[in-house]
Structure 1
């Protein structure tokens, strides 16, 4: 048995030298070390999510997704370093690695802000990857030192990460993304300081202490003086706020929370205040006085022509839609805004906007619009959406919150909550968004038993030619338009300068004229279109993704990951060819499948619970918290109950079975409890996910036990492979969801776990009953 194998042996072994220290392997899993590891993982998840919020303020979401995806590869690369150079994985190095992760995170945060005006490209990727490389080195080294205690270590790892996920919202709401990221770096250095105190010799104490002091100083001084802040007027990404601040524009107020950074800007041209979310998606805050120019906004058209009494508004933003309703004397308005900061700022500047959100006829809710609409089961005269988009980046990349607003199921919900003569009005961006929305509306009407030609009788389209670009308005009535109604609409439109684009049986241009005449169908139009304008669904909700196939912005990321996988496969092959027994050479395949399955499940489950829970931030927090903390508990239970000497087959199969149960049972659960109070719905999600989470926490640490008996390098290699495939699952999951939907991602996760189970079964025939398989490599 070589030195690496001895490190994974029983705690009953006599004292020996580990990295030059007279200690026992159990030192690497002592209570102090477990606390430090939990703290380290908590800081790691906080850093990742805070960086997502920070970078999405500075850049657009697809770029942020690419940067963070490649950066998180650093965990796998750091672990690969330990597998390649076992001397790097000595236990005494762990506090230093943790401290360097924290210090480099501080540098990343500062440099990201200072260089936001530059186009750094892959330089930014390299910067952000640094803390993750140190994390990979620390985790691989620690687990390699005590692989037999992997379930306890993994319990601390996942429980700490789960706690970090639960603390994310209050932390970012209190500090904002920038200071939250600095605090996360401080947590990493605090973990290093604690770890150094838990290991003999005190290695790394000075570096960890210096890092912790630096982090506390930076957070405290920035909170007090704000010396580190992004210059929103000179962002290199060219976000709309840059133009809004040009020519004397100024930021009047800023709220930075767990959802987005929201800036209220007074433009330099003297126009109305505008709210920007992460520097984009501007919405107008209408002034209480001198606002005559707002009467020419095409968004006022359905209010002025219909004079609705009861109105439901999704995404009121700065309050312009509320102003429209007040001008039409609407008796009751329910407005649902997903961004709490928008509501805060509109209320804070009530003197400017005439206190729009606190009028007697107005009720404003911070929630997800469709979720409220379904739960309250009220019918309205008008449901209004005005260019609903946030461009708020999330951990799942392209799965943006606004997408579920324009799906086929969404249009079905809107139509179901209209009065018989009620109307859905959607103010859109351009021809592409209009085409997709119109085709989706027709598909929703077809589900009610109408033909395409009959469905077109419920639709009218107008255009504001003075917009930049010209702004379309889609009107969808619960009942067909009459000629008298269309004539009245046309008269008003022409009076204010709007152009009709489609009026059923009155005015139409190709290709709608051809559909109306029965010459072609919408399916044929969708198939012939250069862009993808097919209806989106809740399962495949990417309304703003018009490219067919994989988006151009995602392709380079996939190519890079493909290259990493190819190079990694060669490296793994070289390392594993010396491993005995031969079946044990397949261990990296097991850890690859587990990493792929875990992350793919996480991505799919967050998406599937979003509408049920309401606010997207709550869905991310709840799902991550349950999966991570439940997984940690499962790891601890597996360590106590599972005494197998080979890769676990039953726990891995258990994940696949539990995942299948979720896939089959969740639609029924969500329908049954959708109208329940939030606390009940949250409890349903927790109870439904907990069995799956418990099982998901078992395969990885139990596999590490087996890998440890082949040497330390095998543990590090397991971490490297698992880390890389986790990123592949995140990116590949988005690519797969774009093609097949998130149900396809969930099925892919289940297949990955079945492959892991097959690998475990195959290797079990050789490793079962062998307490210490021999290896030709892997020593410390």
Structure 2
């Protein structure tokens, strides 16, 4: 006798919520100790645990219907208990054990366990209650949508360890709903809620324990380069965006702000007397502010505040600082006695925002716009996709140039030669579109190489490191070029290209026929990627994921039943298609919302909520509309988004946040609604055809293809751009539509 469906629906809602929050917590944790490629690899491969859970459930209970009730009773208790234990052990281990490269396989193994148990629980619940699959899928998606919002709130207010304890208790709370004895069930619910409440309100003991972040002790990422200087962490701040540390060393008077253990910026000792930082005039970042008279400056990503000092040293009267990471500003505030309260001085106005988003809605113009080593190669959008931000694209450069006063300067300090090639190629393209040929555009651009890095390599080529790139909206005047020569001599820096004297810019620009490999646009925003293809590791991950998923499901799919093969393709299409549409949309909408975390917290819940509503209404919709038509609708609507999304973003760029969210909800609602229909509808048809034993396997295949889709979206985007990736996702739903001619015939026969 089956139990009531309400506990199962609540359980699926909460487990879906838990697994989604666990995925994001895992990403946030790994981002501090692993490079971004490895973060993406470990997260992607560990999520194959969902597939493995579905395969295990299929194998263990195939054709054993009498055991299904046992699973939803006694067996479910053990699965939920194991899930709870796996969540707690994994997060504590990853947080406390010192990092070592050889530990990565252990990270992968432990990270996978919660997904295995979660996938096992969910796939069997769908199998047993397949007649309510539309409601169950609705609960799963709504749980994930709420989890996307809730995890941001939790990570912004609590330590990762406290979040881990909270997550581990949720499966135990679900477990209490499966206790048959009513009094014990009530007692279990009360106890579970009480413990969770205590963790939320009184979890400071765990927060104090979390101050010892053991994983940092293996000198990961930037700390490795500081190890000889005996680095000491003097301050730490966690939130959903990043971990921010202030590091002190024995050999440097400056303090270093690290974001996720990697991206570094300097905090300079300053007592309020600019004479005490006169030595900074030898820094290339001083040049754009001082080579001519300037009164106003916009600084994007000033981090520890050195850029502000450079502007002040040059006499800039009005400074606007835009910093994406609030942790950097909190670190500067915590050490304001050390840095002279640099962000709090009278002529400095500070905003926490993405630089591109800020300037797109800013009506002011500036004499100087300055970006120094702004790098956000983390696993952005809270781990949903590898992302570059949009501050180094052609469209961004055009926006910056349009916000300069006449004769104003756009300046960058870059990392090396690859950055310089990409930046110059992109800027020359802008001038070319304005009718200024490359040969004349060199008069608008100056490049200076950093001091002590202008030697030659073994093959006698110039060693370009941390170059300064300055672009004006008018040609450089001779007197300005002469001033730059003086600054370069004082700093012992080498001029690589200078209008009026040394116009060699085209030596640092690829040939015209290779322009496409270096041009950076909003469609292809991968400024730091080498070349026009995905890195080898990402392609390798795609191959491994395909082969591993195939290996896990191969034996289970050996059957003479054509329907099983048919539904394997069915769920492969929707797993791939969903991700290949979702991820490009998230990336593109970063341009609207600016902040990656905010974009994630808005777009993911909207899509999942809409898909949940589609699932809930799928029984009604599929009586009137065929699955083939639904696939075509998704294809057509995605095509409409492809055409009109840039105009939508431009229209609402300067709108209030509430209006942006409402407009995005209305835009994505139809798409998500129809994308939520195929999954539960397919399960219902499987039930009608008598192959419910394969429901857990189809759950696993859908999960496998979702992981493949997330990696494939990156490979396609880094090779062809996000526009093509979006169109490939849409095309998969068109293929899905043609694949569903059999379902159409089946439904027509059923309703005739």
* TM value normalised by structure 1: 0.87
Q: Does 1:162 align with 2:145?
A: yes
Deviations 1:227-268 (A, max 9, x none): 5742365235x3113444654432221110010000112222
Equivalence for 2:694: 714
Equivalence for 1:619: 599
Q: Distance in 2 between matches of 1:525 and 1:696?
A: 39
2:571, 2:679 within 8 Å by CA — same for their partners in 1?
yes
Equivalence for 1:746: 726
Q: Which one of the candidate residues 235, 238, 243 is aligned to 2:218? A: 235
Q: Does 1:287 align with 2:282?
A: no
Equivalence for 1:223: 206
Equivalence for 1:8: none
Deviations 1:666-691 (A, max 9, x none): 22221222122222222211211112
Cα distance, 1:480 vs. partner? Answer: 1.0
Instruction: Kindly report which structure 2 residues correspond to 1:159-558, keeping only aligned pairs within 5 A, or say none.
Output: 159-194=142-177, 196-197=178-179, 220=203, 222-226=205-209, 229-231=212-214, 234-235=217-218, 238-244=220-226, 246-289=228-271, 291-394=277-380, 402-466=388-452, 470-508=465-503, 512=507, 522-524=511-513, 526=515, 532=517, 534-558=518-542
Secondary structure, counterpart of 1:287 in structure 2: coil
Deviations 1:69-109 (A, max 9, x none): 00001101111122223257532333432332221111111
Cα distance, 1:133 vs. partner? Answer: 0.7
Deviations 1:638-679 (A, max 9, x none): 2455448x9833333332232222222222221222122222
Q: Distance in 1 between matches of 2:197 and 2:33?
A: 22
Cα distance, 1:180 vs. partner? Answer: 2.4
Assess, with a 3 A threshold, how the Cα gap between structure 1 residues 657 and 182 changes in structure 2: closer, same or farther: farther
Q: Which one of the candidate residues 634, 651, 654 is aligned to 2:633? A: 654
Secondary structure, counterpart of 2:610 in structure 1: helix
1:245, 1:267 within 8 Å by CA — same for their partners in 2?
no
Equivalence for 1:9: none
Secondary structure, counterpart of 1:98 in structure 2: helix
2:27, 2:382 within 8 Å by CA — same for their partners in 1?
no
Q: Distance in 2 between matches of 1:415 and 1:742?
A: 25
2:166, 2:196 within 8 Å by CA — same for their partners in 1?
no
Q: Does 1:51 align with 2:26?
A: yes
Equivalence for 1:595: 575
Secondary structure, counterpart of 1:403 in structure 2: coil
Assess, with a 3 A threshold, how the Cα gap between structure 1 residues 199 and 455 changes in structure 2: closer, same or farther: farther
1:656, 1:753 within 8 Å by CA — same for their partners in 2?
yes
Deviations 1:39-63 (A, max 9, x none): 1111111111111101101111110
2:380, 2:596 within 8 Å by CA — same for their partners in 1?
no
Cα distance, 1:378 vs. partner? Answer: 2.1
Q: Which one of the candidate residues 663, 671, 685 is aligned to 2:650? A: 671
1:313, 1:383 within 8 Å by CA — same for their partners in 2?
yes
Q: Which one of the candidate residues 602, 611, 614 is aligned to 1:631? A: 611
Q: Distance in 1 between matches of 2:366 and 2:196?
A: 56
Instruction: Kindly report which structure 2 residues correspond to 1:694-773, keeping only aligned pairs within 5 A, or say none.
Output: 694-709=673-688, 710-766=690-746, 768-769=748-749
Q: Does 1:85 align with 2:85?
A: no
Assess, with a 3 A threshold, how the Cα gap between structure 1 residues 163 and 396 changes in structure 2: closer, same or farther: closer
Assess, with a 3 A threshold, how the Cα gap between structure 1 residues 760 and 200 changes in structure 2: closer, same or farther: farther
Secondary structure, counterpart of 1:360 in structure 2: coil
Equivalence for 2:546: 562
1:655, 1:695 within 8 Å by CA — same for their partners in 2?
yes
Cα distance, 1:419 vs. partner? Answer: 1.4
Cα distance, 1:693 vs. partner? Answer: 1.6
Cα distance, 1:193 vs. partner? Answer: 3.1
Q: Does 1:60 align with 2:40?
A: no
Q: Distance in 1 between matches of 2:181 and 2:421?
A: 64
1:80, 1:717 within 8 Å by CA — same for their partners in 2?
yes
Aligned length, in residue pairs = 728
Q: Distance in 2 between matches of 1:535 and 1:651?
A: 37
Assess, with a 3 A threshold, how the Cα gap between structure 1 residues 261 and 692 changes in structure 2: closer, same or farther: same
Cα distance, 1:564 vs. partner? Answer: 2.5
1:439, 1:522 within 8 Å by CA — same for their partners in 2?
no
Q: Distance in 1 between matches of 2:210 and 2:371?
A: 39
Q: Distance in 2 between matches of 1:487 and 1:732?
A: 51
In structure 2, runs of 5+ residues without a counterpart are 455-463
Cα distance, 1:402 vs. partner? Answer: 4.9
Cα distance, 1:372 vs. partner? Answer: 1.2
Cα distance, 1:199 vs. partner? Answer: 9.7
2:253, 2:269 within 8 Å by CA — same for their partners in 1?
no
Assess, with a 3 A threshold, how the Cα gap between structure 1 residues 526 and 23 changes in structure 2: closer, same or farther: closer
Assess, with a 3 A threshold, how the Cα gap between structure 1 residues 295 and 488 changes in structure 2: closer, same or farther: closer
Q: Distance in 1 between matches of 2:553 and 2:658?
A: 46
Cα distance, 1:763 vs. partner? Answer: 3.5
Q: Distance in 1 between matches of 2:117 and 2:30?
A: 21
Deviations 1:187-216 (A, max 9, x none): 23323333x24799999x999989997997
Cα distance, 1:182 vs. partner? Answer: 3.5
Deviations 1:105-142 (A, max 9, x none): 11111221233422223332121111101111101100
Secondary structure, counterpart of 1:471 in structure 2: coil
